[in-house]
Amino acid sequence: MNKIDQKIVVIGGGTGSFTLLSGLKQYANNITALVNMADDGGSSGLLRDELGVLPPGDIRQCLVALSDASQLRELFNYRFDEGTLKGHSFGNLFLSAVEKMTNNFQDSIDLASKVLRIQGTVLPITTDKSHLVIYDENGTKTKGEFKIGQMDFGKIRRPKIVLEPKAKITLAAEQTILEADVVVIAPGNLYGSLAPALIVDGVSKALTDTKATIIYVCNLVTKPLQTDDFFVHDYVSEIERFIGAQVVDYVIYNTDEPTPAMLRKYSNEGEFMVEFDLEKLSHQKYKAIGLPLIATTLISEEIKNADPIGHSRSLIRHNNDILARELVRICQL
């Protein structure tokens, strides 16, 4: 298959964007990854706290995903396992060092892009330093993406979620969305990964104003204590609530079943396959496309190194080749 030249923008961060970009780069020449900048856990959180830098982890994952230089990919994902650098990846340290040296986070991304010889562009969706905040039904505040990612939402079905202080979309990110042919909202933690990208000031207007086709790739499994009992249409509803407008043109969701062993592991941890209601999907404004999207290959060492927290709890992954081919098909309609 020849690579397509349409301008494709992927919004998200973490393993979801990593998986999608790794497949998409095989079929598309013009990819831009817009990355959420609210991460405050693990290595990124430590670097934010100790150096005052922007979180590099999700940016690093997207850079590595778009690179074909295998040894450099391994280098940027290399994670120290002892000493004072324990837990830090080389790529995170590289990005933070250049940011401190130039006082410009985009400079660090541009240099890393050259070193890794990436196919495409990686941009932070904002460069404002802010934290994700959620309020429960009593107005109690929880601050921090990592804490929110681990919390029990209880009876809250549609939590109030904001960035504090407010963050504004960068001019480059805004322009990229406006000029896109297709915008893909990647799979990922609904409240911890996608919300902090979509609620950035200016993102809603850009997604409303763009003439691009907007596609959401739905998660494969629910998140315990947060999206229990969510169907595909519930995920889309929350995505559009974050954006503040009904902008999704397509949702791509999984129709495949994992192995019984995988199902048992997930159900033991309170995670279940995201179900779909064909009747409800048939009445939505967007078009729903169901495909067998579960990857049959084992998780690579690269993904384990790129996202040690994510890999430790996730065996079920999107088949990035099937997903990429479907995205290309939609691009060509």
- Annotate 78-110 with DSSP letters as a single string: -B--SSTTTT-BHHHHHHHHHHHHHS-HHHHHH
Of 55-59, 194-198, 233-237, 309-313, the poorest mean pLDDT is in 309-313
Instruction: Say if residue 268's pLDDT is above 90.
Output: no
Phi, psi of 79 (to 5 degrees): -115, 125
d(CA 191, CA 223): 10
Instruction: Say if residue 234's pLDDT is above 60.
Output: yes
Instruction: Say if residue 313's pLDDT is above 50.
Output: no
The structure's pTM equals: 0.94
pLDDT, residue 56, reads 98
Instruction: Say if residue 309's pLDDT is above 50.
Output: no
Q: Helix (H, G, I), strand (E, B), or coil: what is residue 321?
A: helix
Instruction: Say if residue 224's pLDDT is above 50.
Output: yes
Strands (E), the chain: 4-12, 28-35, 121-124, 131-135, 141-143, 160-164, 182-185, 213-217, 250-254, 287-291
- 321 to 19, 64, 157, 296, 317: CA distances (angstroms): 9, 17, 34, 11, 12
pLDDT digits (tens, 9 = 90+) for 147-195: 998 888 887 778 999 999 999 999 999 999 999 999 999 999 999 999 9
Say if strands 121-124 and 4-12 run parallel, antiparallel, or are unpaired.
Answer: unpaired
d(CA 214, CA 287): 11
pLDDT, residue 305, reads 52
pLDDT digits (tens, 9 = 90+) for 121-158: 999 999 999 999 999 888 889 999 999 988 888 877 78
Buried b (16+ CB within 10 A) or exposed e, 257-292: ebeeeeeeebeeeebbbbebeeeebeeeebebebbe
| Architecture (CATH level 2) of domain 4-331 | 3-Layer(aba) Sandwich (3.40)
Q: Helix (H, G, I), strand (E, B), or coil: what is residue 193?
A: helix
Say if strands 160-164 and 131-135 run parallel, antiparallel, or are unpaired.
Answer: antiparallel
Q: Both tokens of residue 226?
A: 């947060």
Longest dimension (CA), the chain: 56
pLDDT, residue 303, reads 52
Instruction: Say if residue 209's pLDDT is above 50.
Output: yes
pLDDT digits (tens, 9 = 90+) for 16-28: 999 999 999 999 9
Taking the domains of the chain in order of start, what are their residue ranges?
4-331
